[in-house]
């Protein structure tokens, strides 16, 4: 994959700037759930999946949400928009068994007790796992959304990306608050 178009980097930086410059998300025009959904969408812009994932040239990018969270609803507002030339499709999952066709899986912090189990269920599949659960990357998740210094930031587990056969753009990695190479706890 060539480096992402500059307009996508500008969009990601713009969202990060909106979130970072406000002392609280309440002062921003975005709710926290909307900001998290925007981060998830932008992560998808900077990830390269194996060619076989999109063997059907017209397949949409499927973003799935698991667990009780307003982020899942906020993601639905992006349905139909384009990412990497593909329309976004959003699906709320009832269980992890439904995650197989997903390219991106947002796991709500309401699932924190089961995170390790959920990650094992999708291990080695080309699925970008994202969550706002505490210490998500430490247990093997790919991208964790974290609140630090009154800002929404993200951490990346490069080992989890590699295990899922995904490649992150260097531009995405540069913006991460923390880069780790954790294998995750079993």
Q: What is the CATH number of the domain that holds 146?
A: 3.40.50.2300
Please check whether residue 185 lies inside any domain of the structure: no
Model pLDDT, residue 64: 96
Residue 98 sits in which domain range? 6-180
* Pair of tokens at residue 135: 């210490």
As beta bridge partners, residue 92 has: 65
* Extended strands (E) in the chain: 47-48, 61-66, 82-83, 86-93, 104-107, 128-131, 143-148, 151-157, 167-168, 178-180
**What's the structural domain count of the chain?**
1
Length of the chain: 186
pLDDT tens digits for range 124-168: 899 999 999 999 999 999 999 998 888 899 999 999 999 999 999
Q: Tell me the whole-structure pTM to 2 decimals.
A: 0.81
Q: Could you give the CA distance from residue 95 to residue 55 in angstroms, rounded to a whole number?
A: 25
Mean pLDDT of 163-181: 86
Q: What is the pLDDT of residues 72-119, one digit of tens each?
A: 999 999 999 999 999 999 999 989 999 999 999 999 999 999 999 999
Answer for the pair 102, 90: CB distance below 8 angstroms, yes or no: no
Label the pairing between strands 167-168 and 82-83: unpaired
Name the pairing type of β-strands 143-148 and 151-157: antiparallel
The model's confidence at residue 177, banded by pLDDT at 50, 70 and 90, is confident
| Within a domain: 141 | yes
């Amino acid at each position: 994959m060539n480096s992402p178009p500059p307009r996508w980097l500008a969009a990601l930086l713009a969202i990060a700037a909106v979130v970072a410059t406000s002392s609280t998300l309440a002062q921003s025009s975005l709710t926290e759930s909307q900001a998290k959904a925007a981060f998830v969408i932008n992560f998808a812009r900077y990830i390269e999946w194996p060619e076989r994932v999109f063997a059907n040239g017209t397949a949409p990018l499927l973003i799935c949400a698991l667990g009780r969270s307003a982020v899942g609803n906020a993601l639905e507002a992006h349905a139909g928009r384009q990412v990497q030339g593909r329309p976004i499709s959003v699906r709320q999952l009832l269980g992890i068994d439904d995650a197989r066709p997903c390219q991106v899986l947002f796991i709500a912090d309401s699932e924190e007790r089961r995170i390790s189990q959920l990650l094992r269920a999708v291990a080695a599949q080309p699925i970008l796992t994202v969550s706002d659960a505490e210490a998500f990357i430490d247990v093997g998740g790919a991208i964790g959304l974290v609140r630090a210094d009154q800002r929404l930031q993200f951490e990346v587990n490069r080992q989890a990306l590699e295990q899922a056969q995904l490649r992150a753009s260097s531009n995405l990695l540069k913006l991460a608050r923390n880069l780790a190479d954790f294998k995750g706890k079993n």
